[in-house]
Structure 1
């Protein structure tokens, strides 16, 4: 059997109180982070790791399983364990809702997909009137009924996020916003055409582990967390005109913010 290249992986520390399989996972994780194993690259086989570290096969399997649970690697039956791809989309918070994009007929998701060089898709679209949750109602100024627009977003066929937009019925009912396809520029372009010129957006973001349904909807690998983002859009009169509740696959995005220092 061919030995692994010198310097590719470190050696175990026999004086450490850290479990051996975790030490092996640490070395593999460091090699991935430093680019010694590129995205999509195959990691050393179980036999190679057994020989390199001088441990049992079960110890190596536990180390590889740990990396998979963290979302860093994925196993392909009969082929081996591979480095999972890293975030393809840089989500630019200061740019994605710029009015110039709406004027060009582009929604925020299309803008991001274009910058990433990816093919955008939307599926699982549902539009219906419903009673909002207490949280959504409070954010929108306590309407009793809202228009809810649910959809899933994909890049190059891979699900990356799903979102639900909630809009007051007195704004959205019997308008293009209530149609499955609201037209170029999306619902924000339609809101401005209806006289609700957008002034600013407030966003709240937290990271958490996904629910079983979210794992299924986004086809998440084991151990991959999600970003849960709630955005409220306000018009120039200070009215909240939309709340968007979004769940994003954390391994599909880099969240990028431009924060002025003045």
Structure 2
């Protein structure tokens, strides 16, 4: 069963969140607003955390910064009414919910249940030196397309390929997988794919990762407003030969 840590001092909020979690098969556990939250997340004792930012802004800001700095791949949910901004774009995978719209939590948790897997199953970090085969990450909510692309890259090029069907799942995979090239759909179901691109671009561990953004909704001229997020853009439907050409070109340039 997936587990949500609730960091709030409001009995009303705690009770409502517990009811929502119970209705969709999540285990809700109350947690204090202190650095023990960070330790519990690091120990994989939770699959997501909900921070009520309205209770103690100064304490909340300190704890949230500690968590996002140390565990940028972890899904964080923020309950706030403009008291504090959520972490800057690119610092992690975040969701925000206004207190008066707390019912939206149900949809967010269902999305995480469908897209990801329990924190205890997140793979350990893999040492780069021991696996010299080029690594490719595919992030696309079209599971059939993602599967076919992954099969193609493994069979034709013999790359080490990981596939994610959501931003949350990509974040979990990145905990143990450092891609040389990432192919990312910027129109994901659970979040804007450009947030995943920005996260890769701004995180020191992935500074050398080349990013190919793809989309069936945006055209090249429409994607020009975010060139810093990715290295190249390809519209869908994809040309397999063109995509392979992009991947090969990036890998040969390293």
| Common fold by TM > 0.5 | no
Q: Which has the larger radius of gyration?
A: 1
What TM-score, normalized to structure 2?
A: 0.19
Higher share of residues assigned helix: 2
What TM-score, normalized to structure 1?
A: 0.19
Higher RCO (C-alpha 8 Å, min separation 6): 1
Higher share of residues assigned strand: 1
